[in-house]
Amino acid sequence: MNHAILILTLLIAPLLGFAFNGLRFRSHNAYLAGSVATAASFISFLCSLALFFQLKDLPPEARHLTSRFFDWIVVGDLRVPFGFTVDQISAIMILIITGVGSLIHLFSIGYMSHDERPSKYFAYLNLFLFNMLVLVLGDNLLITFVGWEGVGLCSYLLIGFWFSDPAKAAAGMKAFVTNRIGDAGFLIGMFILFFTYGTLTYSDLLQLIPQVVESTWTGPLTLAFLFLFIGATGKSAQIPLYVWLPDAMAGPTPVSALIHAATMVTAGVYLFVRLSPALIFAPHAMEVIAWTGAATALVAATIGITQWDIKKILAYSTVSQLGYMFLAVGVGAFGAAQFHLMTHAFFKALMFLGSGSVIHAMHEEQDVRKMGGLRKYLPITHFTFVLGWLAIIGIPPFAGFFSKDEILWQAFSSPHGSKALWFVGALTAACTAFYMTRLMALTFWGKSRFGKDVHPHESPPSMTIPLMVLGLLSVIGGWVGIPHVLGAVLPGHPSNLFEGWLKPVIGHVAHHEPNVIMEWALMGVSVSLAGLGAWFAYHNYLVQPNLPKAVAAKLGPVYRAVANKYYVDEFYDRFLINPLIATSKAIWLYIDVNVIDKVTYFAGDLVSGLASFAKTVQNGKTQSYALYMALGVAIIMTFVMWRG
């Protein structure tokens, strides 16, 4: 089939699903709404597979399928075609978005079966999928920005889906406003690129940008990437704009799996991988990205250690894993960043959906302190959750091991990396193993801590089938990116297929000759740290369950600071949000009310007075008109006589 037809079908299918459910948004038939939405998503997945295989049959250097349908914007020197491109990067993205997205749609049928507005929910879900596809398929920055804004809108609608609860409505608004701050940076970065190079099309930009390293912080390329990174800190929840993502757990749990694991939050990583052939010439921007990612990974991981809400723990884990991806981008490991984006989509979507299965079984309870012993009640959920747990903490041969270990090695060995960056990443790995094992111990293992009126039960097949598929992907998903040092000792010497697939389209940083012994040693250290962190959490929460309280009491203010998320939200409220509100009120009072309003009132009164005077002249009385005419004649005669 022609690739242009496949691309159109890929995009239109979820849009038609949105239209179908949107027009019947008052319907309570969750199974019909969910079936239509899931079918639309699955059709897009089939189109993605077809495009992938078409791409695979092309020579590596010619793997791009572009369809430009018409010129969208033509103003002066700005020419923006309405076009979409499938290449090695976007092919991976559309497979993740539609594949994992279809599983999440299927899971939602069971999860939202008792909701009052399932049709509206599935309409929003399909619209989100459409906008995410536009974001990754757009062949220029402006179309990417359209999808970027579209997923921002849909995240607002889905996070605040249960808007009758003020807290949930506020969470949606917080996500929307925080992302708009980042989007302002995205726009400025886009303007800098256009005014410097005269185009916004990716292929043209990568050809026009001089292949000369910028040594200053004020070079146009460096500034453009720094502003684009501000946009990425909003969309992909990095310091300082990460605060919206944990609160976004207010939405339905499948929303968390779709938006905050497989799609929207990875948009910033995708953007920088897409522009990586140019990013390597802006080393200062890469340094900022690397350290921001490393700091975000560690800070979020420490906060995750102290949370009790099962979804909040996973939310901070997402922030931390996104930090890993940006650490990889910053040290020039673009393939590793994209690889971790993919494996993370598998195991984190699995864990979010698994938490949804737990919440469904526990009658909406989310506090892990009120769970425990659930593995005998939820055997499928528990087994698949174990697979996700082993993947995220980096135990071989699960998917997360391959991608995370590659990032840590690149952070250590890359010319843009350092031992300090590796240390932060390794410490984060230990924290990840600790808080994820803590979650497992408090939720599934040990003694039951829920009341007698709670009767946990396994979820229906529509929810457990996606868990099993994602569990399988969490096991085997990393084998397409086996590191060279590991492939060299395995039977058949498998190569790194993922790296070979991306090689023609990503930026490359010159490396020294790899030190095989050092790579093996660091691999051993990272796995050992993961094992140590997991054992420590198991011991603390199952063998000696009273120990964490004693440690928390001994740490005192340090523990309280971490448990309160380092008071970042409070800092923003006190020093940014409240002063901004107070300033806005002052401007409203002294400028709007006392100046603008009074000027407009005076102008209105003046016009009204003149109109009233004119009305007395035009009153329709003949006697008055005769008097005015006589007065006019008298005035004219007096003037003529005076001049004579």
Tell me what the mean pLDDT of segment 422-440 comes to.
97
Distance in angstroms (rounded) separating the CA atoms of residues 11 and 622: 73
Lookup: tokens for 483: 């590191």
pLDDT reading at 622 higher than 80: no
Please list, residue by residue across 366-380, b when 16 or more beta carbons sit within 10 angstroms of its beta carbon and e when fewer do. Answer: bebeebbebbebbeb
625 and 486 together in one domain? no
90 and 222 together in one domain? no
Instruction: Convert the pLDDT of each residue in 517-562 to its tens digit.
Output: 999 999 999 999 999 999 999 999 999 988 888 888 888 899 999 9
413 and 380 together in one domain? yes
What's the confidence (pLDDT) of residue 34?
Answer: 95
pLDDT reading at 644 higher than 70: no
115 and 147 together in one domain? no
109 and 211 together in one domain? no
Sign of the dihedral through C-alpha 218, 219, 222, 224: positive
Tell me what the mean pLDDT of segment 184-209 comes to.
94
In-domain check, residue 382? yes
**E strand or H helix that includes residue 565:** none
User: Which of 325-339, 349-363, 579-593 has the weakest average pLDDT?
Assistant: 579-593
494 and 587 together in one domain? no
**Among residues of the chain, what percentage have pLDDT more than 70?**
99
In-domain check, residue 420? yes
In-domain check, residue 72? no
| Stated pTM of the model | 0.92
Determine contact, residues 374/443, Cβ cutoff 8 Å: yes
391 and 306 together in one domain? yes
pLDDT reading at 421 higher than 90: yes
Instruction: Convert the pLDDT of each residue in 40-55 to its tens digit.
Output: 999 999 999 999 999 9
Distance in angstroms (rounded) separating the CA atoms of residues 483 and 497: 10
Identify the band that residue 339 occupies on the pLDDT scale cut at 50, 70 and 90: very high
What's the confidence (pLDDT) of residue 390?
Answer: 97
181 and 129 together in one domain? no
In-domain check, residue 391? yes
120 and 217 together in one domain? no
Domain C-terminal end among 92, 120, 136: 136
Tell me what the mean pLDDT of segment 318-327 comes to.
96
pLDDT reading at 383 higher than 80: yes
Domain C-terminal end among 563, 581, 611: 563
Task: Please tell me the total count of domains within the chain.
Answer: 3
Domain C-terminal end among 563, 582, 610: 563
In-domain check, residue 75? no
Identify the band that residue 214 occupies on the pLDDT scale cut at 50, 70 and 90: very high
Provide the domain limits for residue 182: 140-563
pLDDT reading at 176 higher than 70: yes
532 and 586 together in one domain? no
How far CA 556 is from CA of 559, 561, 563, 603, in Å, comes to: 6, 9, 11, 63
Determine contact, residues 457/97, Cβ cutoff 8 Å: no
Other Cβ atoms less than 10 A from the Cβ of 410: the count is 25
Distance in angstroms (rounded) separating the CA atoms of residues 578 and 572: 8
Q: What is the 3-state secondary structure (H, E, C) of 219-277?
A: CHHHHHHHHHHHHHHHHCCCCCCCCHHHHHHHCCHHHHHHHHHHCHHHHHHHHHHHCHH
In-domain check, residue 78? no
Instruction: Convert the pLDDT of each residue in 102-157 to its tens digit.
Output: 999 999 999 998 889 999 999 999 999 999 999 999 999 999 999 999 999 999 99
Determine contact, residues 454/358, Cβ cutoff 8 Å: no
555 and 606 together in one domain? no
In-domain check, residue 92? yes
Mean pLDDT of the chain: 92
In-domain check, residue 173? yes
Tell me what the mean pLDDT of segment 179-194 comes to.
95
Q: Specify the higher pLDDT residue, 146 or 511.
A: 146
First to last CA, the chain: 97
60 and 131 together in one domain? yes
pLDDT reading at 201 higher than 90: yes
Among 254, 270, 248, residue whose Cα is nearest residue 176: 248
What's the confidence (pLDDT) of residue 197?
Answer: 93
pLDDT reading at 78 higher than 90: no
